[in-house]
Each structure stands twice: as C-alpha cells, then as structure tokens.
Structure 1
Amino acid sequence: MTYKLKIITDGDRLLDLLQDNFSWLQERGYNLGIKVDREENASIINLELQGYTLDRYFNQDDIIYIFKHQMSELLAEYIAETWEKKLLWKEIIKNYKVISDQDKQIVYYKSLEFLRLYNNNDSINLLLNFSRKNKIANKILKYIEDNDFLVIEGFINFCMQDYLTEIKFAIELAYEELRNEKEYNEFIKLLRYFVETQPPRVFEVNLFMKEDGLFYLWDGNGVKIEEKYIDYYLDDIIMNDTSLDDVLISILITISPQKIVLHNTSAIDYSEPVEIIKKVFNEKIVNCSNCDRCLKLKSQIEQ
C-alpha cells in the first residue's frame, strides 16, 4: 500500500510537526517518508505512506483514513499557530495603511488576543479555540479526500473564506478598541487640564459610593455637599439623559478639590467612575481606612 500527499508551505515549522506526530505508524508496520524540496521561499514537502500489515483491527483503508484525519488536525493546528499571525499582519498592512507603525502593532496584538482569548474563562477559551481549529480540520479533510496536492496559502485564500472573515472581524474589533482607548485617554487629559487650571471650590471632598452607583459627598468638616450640585442635573437624571456616574464625575470636576478621600473602596475599587476619578485626580486621591463615618454608613446600608 502506498499513499502520497504533497504540501507546499513556507518555513520549517510544519516539517517539525510532521516528524513529531506520526510515530504510531511504525508501530503498525508503516513508514512515513518525508522528502523536502526548496524553491525560493517555498518548502515542498512530499509525504509517502508505505507499508502492509495484517492488523486484526484496522485494514489498509482504515490506516489511510486515520492518517488523513490526523494530518488534517495537524495542519489545522499549524495554520492556527503559524499562519494566523501572518494573515493578521498581512490584512493590517493592506487595509490600515494610514495608522502609525506603533498603532499597527497594537492592533495586531489586540486582534490576536480577540482570536485566542474570547472569554475571561480559560475553559471556554479552550473550547472555542478547539471549535475553530476543528472547522479548519474538517475543511482540510474534505479537500485531501479528493486531492493529493495542497498549497497551504492557496487553500486558505480560496477555501477558507469564513476563516479569513473571522480574522478581518478580529482586526476591526481591535482597531475600534484602539480608537475608543485613544478617545478615552484624550477625554481624561481634557478633564485633568480642566481640574488643574481652575481654583478648588472645596479643599477636601469625601466620597462614599455604593455598589448600585448611589453616592454621598461631604467636605472636610463633615458637611454634605452633593445636594446643590445634584439639583443642577436633576432634570437630566429624571429624563434618563444623564447617569449617576456622569453626575458624580461632573460634580467633582466642578468642585476640583485638592484632596479626595475614597470610602468603601473594597466595594467600588474597580468601578468605571472610580477609575476615571483616580486617573483625573491622580495624586489627590486618598483611601479611607475605615473611619467612623464610613463605618456608620456601611452599617446603615447593611440594615
């Protein structure tokens, strides 16, 4: 029995994978011959599966089918591991010429992350990546069932349009995220400039924020200060045009205090408004270490 398959690709990574993954063939009396020819930037890999055995469980057609199936999985792994990065970069260079080289690199790494880290859960990531590779493997298996000649780049370009669409979508997401980050950073810079160029209306502001977004503000003497400012935004709040988070940030920007004491930090440390406040006021932020008023408010909330 003889089965032949010719694969054209670039580099030596596929050759390494081939040499590491078919030891089981020898155990069943078969030999996988691997011959490599070099042409410019291409590696032409000639595979020849030979052998004959009286295996009680598998006949020769079974061995060929198992080999094709494993070869398809190996090529899918190879494409996802090696070609995916090339395809991402090629697409970025082609369609995002106007952005800087530094931004191209950022988009590249973000899009790669989108493709491989869909979810915060590692198990879900493994499952989704397996599903993606499995789709590639199935396409390859169908192709080599009827063909003994496979050009990796040509196969990707002409037989895997859904995979290329997925790559383009990941890049679009990455580029959009980069734009949003830049807009966000410009917004923070603008707020910092505003805070730094106007005199403080109150020296110290204390902020106690609940997990649901409700907040309490008082000055260094313990006097409430939020009510007169909230009245200004009351109509917008009622009409749902302005969130409490936006109101809080606007009040603090308007007051521009020299010092902001954050209370109940364990509950609010990673909330979006608090992150913005920290970035805008930076060195003016102080964390409370369970003061009496803080403990009293926590006690009232828990009741």
Structure 2
Amino acid sequence: MQLLSIGIIEPVEGLEDRLKLEFDILKDEGLEITLKKFSKSTTIYYYCYVDDDILLKGNYEDLRKMFFHCVANALSDIIINFWEPKLIKKIIKDNYFYFDANEQNRIYEFAADILNFNETCGKQNLFYQIKRKTFVLHKIIDYLKTSSTIILDGFINFRLKAYIDQLEEAVDKAIDEYLMDKEYREFIKLLRYFVDLQEPKKDLVNVVLRGGEFYLLDDKMNLIEKDEGMDMIARENPDVNPDDILVSTLINMAPKKIVIHGFKGREKVEVINALYNIFEGRITFCTNCEICIELKPLKTK
C-alpha cells in the first residue's frame, strides 16, 4: 500500500538519506517502509510503501500517525537546513537587488545571525532554529492529514507564509544592521586615516581598564593628565560617553604604540574593538605585568 508520495522540483541533496534515517527508526518500531524514486517531467517523486500485512497486524491510525510524524521530522529538517538559506538569499536578491554580490552575502550573514539571536542573553541560541523547525513540522503534519501527496517546493511557497514572513522580517532588520555596520566601518576608516596623518605625540601609551573605567599612563607608568579641552567637553556635556572621550584623547595623541592592560574579553568590548580597528598594528594586550597581576595603585607625578 502506498502511504505517501513526496515530490521535489529542485533537487535536494541528502533528502533520500534523511528519509531513510527516519524509516530505520520506524523499522525498529515494527513498521517497515519501502522507498521508491521516480522522475516525472521536472519533478522527482519519492513513493513510500508499506506491506498490507503490517497494517493488518497493528492499529492502522496509530501506525499512520507515527509514519507522518517521521516524514514531517525529515522534511522540516530539510526545509530549515537546505531551503532556509536559499529562501533568505532569494528574499535579499528579489527585494534588495541594488546591493552587489558581496553586500548581499554580508546581509545574508546578518539575517542568519538575527534569526538565531537571543536578545536576553546577547548570544546565539539554537532554540530559535528548533522553534522554526517545530512550526514547520506541525504545518506538514496538518497538511498530510488531508493529502497523500506533498510537493515540497509548492508547500514552502504556498503553505508556509508565516514562516517566510519571519525570514523577510529578519532580512529587513539585517539591512538596517548592515547599513549601520557599513557606516561604522567607514567612520573607523576615516579615523584611522586621520591618525596616520598625525605626528605621534607619544611613543607609548598604556591603557588600563580597572573597575569599568580607563586610565592612561605614559611609558614610565605615570598617570597622563587629562586633556583640558576634552575635560571641558565632558564637564559641559554630561551625556557624552566617557569611552568616546577616551577614543578622542588617544586619536589626538596618535601614539606609536598602545598597550591595553586588564582586558579580559568581556568588559568594554565595543570601545576596545574600536581602538583595535582605529590603531591597527599599534595595539597590544598585556596580562602579566605588575598592573595586570598585582593591581598596584596608580602612580601620579
């Protein structure tokens, strides 16, 4: 008896193996599925058969539900892992065709990150991919309750509107993030050019991160006095970020070398990244000097 036919227009690498993996699980449960592959015109069909004797021995409805769940599990995996990247790229190409190939690739990377990003903890989280898969899986199961044939390409385009809407929303957000990132990179490039044009006012500046604040020391580990102009800006504009003051101060000094102390890879990541990009080739990190290890009090002149 034929339980289901699965059709695909665009060849999907690994689909047959993924189905057979699920059918091996069913075999252990006493339900042996035979898979046959045929081509008709532009469509490849996979026909799923089961011996009538097997159905007669057990509860037909229970076996049928178990079979459809396994098929849905395989197809939802294929959609998330094979089709999702293609769908995102198609959305970008169709809606934002004016970006060149390299820009579209960057937008895709942003979209993929957004889809799996947990804003609460600020990290990538596989849970969101699993959540999308679960949504698709249940849509497939609902569809198979009333149909013995599923054409995967058409199912995605016409039955997964809410899922595709989510991908489109991620792409829209990715465009905003890409443009902000592009603007940031151009700004960093401009600052780096400005630094390269200047004559260094210091050979070496030590940047010490302690208690969430930065301190600047010279090559003899003496505290560098604050620039009066920058200090005035900070006083008159309390909303100005102290980190921005730090970056501006270092740009004005344009030191030949900057050594960063006390950075553990978590605190003040954004400003450290900015300094690393602006002073490309001039930044080094220290973790084993007296300041880093013993946290001695800062000396003043």
What band does the TM-score fall into relative to the shorter chain? 0.7 to 0.9
| 3-state secondary structure, aligned to 1:99 | coil
Aligned in 2, Cα 1:235/1:117: closer, same or farther, shift over 3 Å?
Answer: closer
Equivalent residue number for residue 181 of structure 1 = 181
1:298 paired to 2:299 = no
Q: Report the Cα offset of residue 24 of structure 1.
A: 5.1
Separation (CA, whole Å) in 1 of partners of 2:285 and 2:24: 61
| Contact kept? 2:4, 2:149, Cα under 8 Å | yes
Q: 1:161-240 alignment to 2 at 5 Å?
A: 161-212=161-212, 214-220=213-219, 222=222, 224-226=224-226, 228-238=228-238, 240=239
| Contact kept? 1:111, 1:173, Cα under 8 Å | yes
1:54-90 deviation digits (Å, cap 9, x = unpaired): 888x512211121112222121112112221221222
Q: Report the Cα offset of residue 133 of structure 1.
A: 1.2
Note the residue ranges of structure 1 that are not aligned, 5 or more in a row.
Answer: none
| Contact kept? 2:215, 2:223, Cα under 8 Å | no
Equivalent residue number for residue 35 of structure 2 = 34
Q: Report the Cα offset of residue 96 of structure 1.
A: 1.7
Equivalent residue number for residue 132 of structure 1 = 132
Normalised TM-score (structure 1):
0.82
| 3-state secondary structure, aligned to 1:283 | coil
Aligned in 2, Cα 1:205/1:6: closer, same or farther, shift over 3 Å?
Answer: same
1:241-297 deviation digits (Å, cap 9, x = unpaired): x101001001111222233333334477862222222222233334456555x3699
| Contact kept? 2:5, 2:149, Cα under 8 Å | yes
Which residue identity does 2:295 align to in structure 1? K
Equivalent residue number for residue 158 of structure 2 = 158
Q: What root-mean-square deviation, in Å, do the aligned CA atoms of Structure 1 and Structure 2 show?
A: 3.3
1:206-225 deviation digits (Å, cap 9, x = unpaired): 3222241x222233453532
Equivalent residue number for residue 277 of structure 1 = 275
| Contact kept? 1:30, 1:52, Cα under 8 Å | no
Equivalent residue number for residue 6 of structure 2 = 7
Separation (CA, whole Å) in 2 of partners of 1:281 and 1:194: 10
1:16 paired to 2:17 = yes
Q: Report the Cα offset of residue 169 of structure 1.
A: 2.4
Q: Report the Cα offset of residue 141 of structure 1.
A: 0.8
Separation (CA, whole Å) in 2 of partners of 1:267 and 1:27: 49
Separation (CA, whole Å) in 2 of partners of 1:3 and 1:114: 41
| Contact kept? 1:29, 1:52, Cα under 8 Å | no
1:248 paired to 2:246 = yes
| Contact kept? 2:22, 2:71, Cα under 8 Å | no
Note the residue ranges of structure 2 that are not aligned, 5 or more in a row.
Answer: none
Which residue identity does 2:273 align to in structure 1? E
Equivalent residue number for residue 60 of structure 1 = 60
Which residue identity does 2:249 align to in structure 1? I
Q: Report the Cα offset of residue 171 of structure 1.
A: 2.3
| Contact kept? 1:32, 1:47, Cα under 8 Å | yes
| 3-state secondary structure, aligned to 1:52 | helix
Which residue identity does 1:68 align to in structure 2? F
Separation (CA, whole Å) in 2 of partners of 1:28 and 1:277: 60
Aligned in 2, Cα 1:298/1:267: closer, same or farther, shift over 3 Å?
Answer: farther
| Contact kept? 2:7, 2:150, Cα under 8 Å | yes
Q: Report the Cα offset of residue 106 of structure 1.
A: 2.6
| Contact kept? 2:36, 2:47, Cα under 8 Å | yes
Separation (CA, whole Å) in 1 of partners of 2:225 and 2:88: 53
Equivalent residue number for residue 258 of structure 1 = 256
| Contact kept? 1:107, 1:175, Cα under 8 Å | yes
Q: Please, which moves more after superposition, 83-92 or 18-27? A: 18-27
Which residue identity does 1:298 align to in structure 2? L
**Identical-pair percentage:** 28
Separation (CA, whole Å) in 2 of partners of 1:201 and 1:270: 25
Aligned in 2, Cα 1:124/1:145: closer, same or farther, shift over 3 Å?
Answer: farther
Separation (CA, whole Å) in 2 of partners of 1:26 and 1:200: 74
Aligned in 2, Cα 1:235/1:297: closer, same or farther, shift over 3 Å?
Answer: farther
| Contact kept? 2:216, 2:224, Cα under 8 Å | yes
